[in-house]
Structure 1
Amino acid sequence: MLGAAAVLLGLTTPVTAGAAPAGAASAAPLAWAPCAPAAGVDPRQECATLRVPLDHADPDGPRVGLAVSRIRSENPAARRGVLVLIPGGPGGSSLNNPSGKGQRLPREVRDAYDLIGFAPRGVAPSTAVTCGLAPADLSPTVTRPWPAPDGSVDGNLAAARRLATACATDGGALIRSLSTATEARDLDLLRAALGERRISAWGVSYGTYVGAVYGELFPHRTDRVVLDSNDDPDPARVSRAWLARYEQGVEDVFPDFAAWASRPGPYRVAGSAAEVRPLFLRLAARLDREPIPWPGAEPAELDGTVLRQTMLDGLSSPDTYPVLAELMNAARRGTVPPVPAGPGAEALRNVVAVTLGTVCNDVAWPRTAAAYQDAVTESRRRHPLTAGMPRNALACAAWPYAPKEPPVRITARGPSNVLLIQNARDVATPLAGAHRLRDALGRRAVLVTVDSTGHGAYLAHGNACGDATVSRFLATGERPAGDTYCR
C-alpha cells in the first residue's frame, strides 16, 4: 500500500456524512449484454457501461465510462439484493470477479445476491488513464521507491518529479478526477443504475477504505458490508499511513517465512529460523555492493533493492514464499533465477497511473527533501528489513495538484452493519491497521481476527472459522456479538 511526516493544513477536517456535490448526477438504467468471450469468464456473466460525471461537482459536464459486470442470483426467490465486489489497488479491477472469486462464495450467498464487478474510473476497460511512463519507470522499485544503499533519497525525489510531470502531462483531467471519495460517489451512481435502494459489499485491501468511505458518505445506502484485509483510515495521512505500515507488516510476517524457509526441502535457505533474518540482511547488503547482472529483467541486475522488493512481494502469501527463497538461494550462489513473467507495459502504465493519481489526490504529501530524509533515516534504523522504503517519497512529493477536498474521516455514525475480517499476519494491511479502522467505526463494526498468514482472509488465506463467520453474515445478517478470534 502506500509515508513520512508533513505539514497538513486542514486535512483532518471531516467531510459531512452523506455529503454530495450540489446537483448530483443521476444514473440511467444499465443496458446489459453478454460479455466479450474471455478465458475464465462465466457465460452467465453480463456486461454494461455506466456513464458517470468526470467531475461530480459538474454533473452535466463531460462523462467517463465505467465497465460493470454481473452474474444474477442463482435463486431469484431467495434474492436479497446485490453484492458489489470492491477491488483492491488503487488500480485493481473486480470486473471478472463475479466469474472468479464470486463463484467461491457458498451457494446460499450466491442465491441471495446478484454479484456485481466493476473497473473503477481510470482502470481499463473503463475510460483509461495513463502517465505514458518509460519501461524503466514502471518498476516497483521506482513507483514504490527504495532509498539508495547509503540511505539517500535524492534519486527518489528526482524520480518523483519525473513521474509527477509525466502524469500531469499525459493524465489530463481524468487523472485529476481520481480519488477515493470520487470512487465512492461513482459507486452510488452504480447503485442507482442497478435500481437498488441499498447495496451489500465485499471490499478487499484498498477496497476496505473505499467501502468505509462509501459507508460514511452514504451510510443508509448500505446493507451488509464485509471489509477484508483492512487499511488504516488515518484521516491526516491516508495512503501515507498504508505505506508506513509495511514496516510492521514485514515484522509480523517475516518470522512465518523464516520458519518455513528453514524446513528441509528444495527451498530451504538456512538450518534454523533464527538464521534467516541475518542471512537476508547480509545478502541485501552484499548485493548493494556487488549487484549480479540479470539480463532481460527490469532492472537488469539483482541488487539489494530488488531482493528487498521481492521480499515485500513474497511475504504477501505463503504461496509466494518459494519466489523469495529461490532468489535468496540464487544470490548466495552468485546466480539469478529465470526472469519472472509480468504484465505488459501498457497494463502497468494504466495501473501505475491510477495508483499515483488516487493516492496523490487523496491527501497532501510532504514537499521537502528534509522531511523524507529524516523519516527514512529513522525508519532504516528501526526496521532494517524494509530499509526506509515505507517512509520514502512517492511521485506525490512533487504532485502538481492539491487535493480537491479533505480526506473523509471514518466515524461511528451510521448503521451497525459492518463485519471486518483480518488475518493476524498480513504484510500489506497489518492487523494494527485493522484495529484503527475498527476503532474509527465503533459500534458500527465487529472485527474477526483470523490466526492465519497472507493478504486476503475470506475464502483466500484465512481459515474455516473466519470463512463460515463471513458467509453466515452475508447470507443471514448474523454477526458475532463482539470482536472475535478465529484460531
Structure 2
Amino acid sequence: MAHRCLWPCRCPWPCHPPRPENSLSRRTTLLATLTAAAALLPAAPAQPAAPLRPPVPHFGACPDSVPKPAAPDRVECARVSVPLDWSHPRGPRIEVAISRVPASGTPAERRGVLLVNPGGPGGSGLPYAVTKRAKLPESVRRSYDVIGFDPRGTGRSAPADCGPMGGLFDSPGADPVPVGPAAERAYLASLRAMADDCAARERHVLPYFSTEQIAQDMDAIRAALGEPATNLLGVSYGSYLGAAYAARFPQRTGRMVLDSVVGPWDWYDFDVLQSRALLRQRDTFFAWTAAHADRFTLGADAAAVRRAYLRVRDGLTAHPVAGFGPAAFDRAVYRALGRTERWTGLADGLGAYLRDGTVDTLRPASAFDSPDSRTYEAANRLTKCADGPGPTPQRILADIHETRRADPHPVLTGMEASTCAYWHHRPAHRTPLGSPDAPPLLLVASAHDPVTPIEGARQLRHLLPGSRLITLDDDYSHGVFASRGNTCVDQTAAAYLIDGTVPTTDVHCTGPGLPGVS
C-alpha cells in the first residue's frame, strides 16, 4: 500500500499508510454524584521508564492552514512518529504533526518548550502555536519555544473520519431536543447510527484515540525535542489532557497552566453539568439583552426576550432557511453563550430573523460541514468514548427529562458523549487524572463559564496537591489566560511559567462583568 504525507511533498520520513475507507436531578445532587465519581478515579500508574529518544524532528515549511506570525518571529512544522497503541510500541505507527515558534529572547531567558492545546477533544493545535502565542505575555514569548500539535485523530495527525455520523451533518438537521416517545426513539436511533458510522470507518483505532494515548504522544514530543520536562498551556479539554499527562508522567511534568478546566468526571457526567450551566447562562443573556432594550428591541424584560428567542427557534423548526434549522440554531446559540463578546451578534441575529427572516447574522463564521468540522466532530467522539464508560440509553432519556423539567427548551449541543451508549469498544477503565507526585500546577477559571463550569477546577485541584486556582470573578466567558486581557490573571500565570512562582493561596482577580454593547 502506498504511503502518503500529512501534507503534500514535505515528508521528512515515510508517512503512515492511509486507513481503509471502511477503516438539574437537582444541581446539588448532580454535583454530589460527580464528586463521588471523582473520588473513585483509579490511582495513577507507576512512573514509566523513560522511552528511547525518537528521531530529532526535521522542521520545515508549514501547511497553508498555519498562519504566519508577525516578523521577526517564524513558524516551522515537523512530524513525530508514535505507536498507534503505546502498549505495543513495535506495532503500527502514526505521525503527530507539530509546529514551533521559537522563543524570541536570549538564551539566558529560555525556559524550554511550552506545548499548547486549544481544547475539544478534536481541536487542531497546529495553528494554535501562532495564534495563542501572539496573545501571551511578552515574557512568556521570550522564554519558551511554543509548540502546537494536532492530537491523534485531529487536523493532520491521522485525521478521523466517521462519515455521516448518524445524520449529524444533515441540513437541515432534526430537532436535537426530543419531545415525546417517537422523537426520543429517533434520537436514540441517531446515536446508535453515529456509533455504527464511526465503527464502520474507524473500528481499528477505536481503543487508541484516548486521552491516555495522546498524553503519551505528548511525552514523545518532549523526548524528540530533547527536553527534560513537559510544560503546557492547556485550555478546556487541554486541561484534561494536562491532568492525564500528570497522572502518567508526574516526574516529567513541568509547569502547566490548565485554563477553563474540565472536571475529573466521566465525559457524559461533564456534558450533563455543562447543559445545565448553559441554561443559567442563557437566562443571564436574556436579562442582559432586556437591559439593552433600546439597542436590541427584543423585549423590555427577560421573559419578553425569551419569548422572542423561542419565536425564532420555532420559526426555524417549522420553516428552515437555506438549511438553517433548529439544530444549526442551537449550535449557533451554544457557540455564542460561551463568549460574552458574541452576545451582541446573537441578539442582533435574533432581531434580524424576526424583522426580515434572514439568518446570516446567526450563522457561525465557519461552516459546520467543512472538512475540519467533520474531523473535529469525529475525533471528539472517538476520544470521549475511549476515555471511559458511556451512559445507558435509559439514563440519557432520564437526564433529558430532568433537564426539560428545569427548562422545556434546553441546548443539548454539547452532549457528545451520549453517543458512547452505543460505542463498539468499551474501555476497561477511566482515564486517570492528576497525581500526588506531580509538581504544583496552576488552574485558571472564569467564575461563570458555562462551557467548563468552575466546579470542574475545584474538583480537579483535589487530585493535584499543592496546586492553586486563579478565579476571574464576575466573568462569564470560556478561556481566561491570555484571552480576557486581565492583568491580574496574566501576570500571575506568567510569573508561574517564568519563575515557577506558585501563589501561596488561591487567587481571585476582578473580572469585567457583563459586556457593554456596540
TM-score by length of 1: 0.87
Q: Contact 1:452–1:462 (CA<8 Å) still a contact in 2?
A: no
| Worse-matched range after superposition: 161-170 or 467-476 | 467-476
Q: Contact 1:41–1:100 (CA<8 Å) still a contact in 2?
A: no
Q: Distance in 2 between matches of 1:404 and 1:478?
A: 38
- From 126, 129, 147, the equivalent of 1:95 is 126
Match of 2:332 in 1: 310
Match of 1:62 in 2: 92
Match of 1:439 in 2: 462
Q: Is 1:258 matched with 2:283?
A: no
Q: What's the CA shift for 1:135?
A: 9.6
| Amino acid aligned to 2:318 | P
Alpha-carbon spacing, 1:195–1:389, altered in 2? closer, same or farther (3 Å)? closer
Match of 2:196 in 1: 165
Q: Contact 2:448–2:476 (CA<8 Å) still a contact in 1?
A: yes
Query: Alignment RMSD, CA only?
Result: 3.2
Q: Contact 2:97–2:150 (CA<8 Å) still a contact in 1?
A: yes
| Amino acid aligned to 1:109 | V
Q: How does 1:2-13 map to 2 (within 5 A)?
A: 12=40
| Amino acid aligned to 1:359 | K
Q: What's the CA shift for 1:362?
A: 0.9
Q: Contact 1:253–1:453 (CA<8 Å) still a contact in 2?
A: no
| Amino acid aligned to 2:231 | S
| Amino acid aligned to 2:427 | P
| Worse-matched range after superposition: 119-128 or 239-248 | 239-248
Write the deviation string for residues 69-117 of structure 1: whole angstroms up to 9, x where unpaired. 1111112221111111023011102212222110222221112111111
Q: Distance in 1 between matches of 2:359 and 2:37?
A: 48
Write the deviation string for residues 381-414 of structure 1: whole angstroms up to 9, x where unpaired. 0244526667787321211111144321434442
- From 32, 36, 41, the equivalent of 2:68 is 41
Aligned residues: 471
Alpha-carbon spacing, 1:377–1:476, altered in 2? closer, same or farther (3 Å)? same
Match of 1:364 in 2: 389
Q: Contact 1:68–1:118 (CA<8 Å) still a contact in 2?
A: yes
Match of 1:30 in 2: 57
Alpha-carbon spacing, 1:424–1:100, altered in 2? closer, same or farther (3 Å)? same
Match of 2:321 in 1: 294
Match of 1:381 in 2: 405
Structure 2 regions of 5+ residues with no counterpart?
A: 1-29, 511-518
| Worse-matched range after superposition: 76-85 or 169-178 | 169-178
Higher RCO structure, 1 or 2 (CA under 8 Å, sep 6+): 1
Matched residue SS, 1:458: coil
Match of 1:138 in 2: 169
- From 368, 373, 380, the equivalent of 1:348 is 373
Q: Is 1:335 matched with 2:335?
A: no
Match of 2:418 in 1: 394
| Amino acid aligned to 1:65 | E
| Amino acid aligned to 1:41 | K
Percent identity over the alignment is 30
Write the deviation string for residues 410-437 of structure 1: whole angstroms up to 9, x where unpaired. 3444222x11111112121112222222
Alpha-carbon spacing, 1:393–1:146, altered in 2? closer, same or farther (3 Å)? farther
Matched residue SS, 1:357: helix
Match of 1:455 in 2: 478
Match of 1:240 in 2: 269
Structure 1 regions of 5+ residues with no counterpart?
A: none
Matched residue SS, 1:44: coil
Q: Contact 1:242–1:429 (CA<8 Å) still a contact in 2?
A: no
Q: How does 1:216-227 map to 2 (within 5 A)?
A: 216-227=247-258
Q: Contact 1:128–1:350 (CA<8 Å) still a contact in 2?
A: yes
Alpha-carbon spacing, 1:292–1:329, altered in 2? closer, same or farther (3 Å)? farther
Q: What's the CA shift for 1:211?
A: 0.5
Alpha-carbon spacing, 1:130–1:390, altered in 2? closer, same or farther (3 Å)? closer
TM-score by length of 2: 0.82
Alpha-carbon spacing, 1:252–1:17, altered in 2? closer, same or farther (3 Å)? farther
- From 82, 104, 113, the equivalent of 1:74 is 104
Q: Contact 2:246–2:435 (CA<8 Å) still a contact in 1?
A: no
Q: Distance in 1 between matches of 2:157 and 2:84?
A: 12
Matched residue SS, 1:421: strand
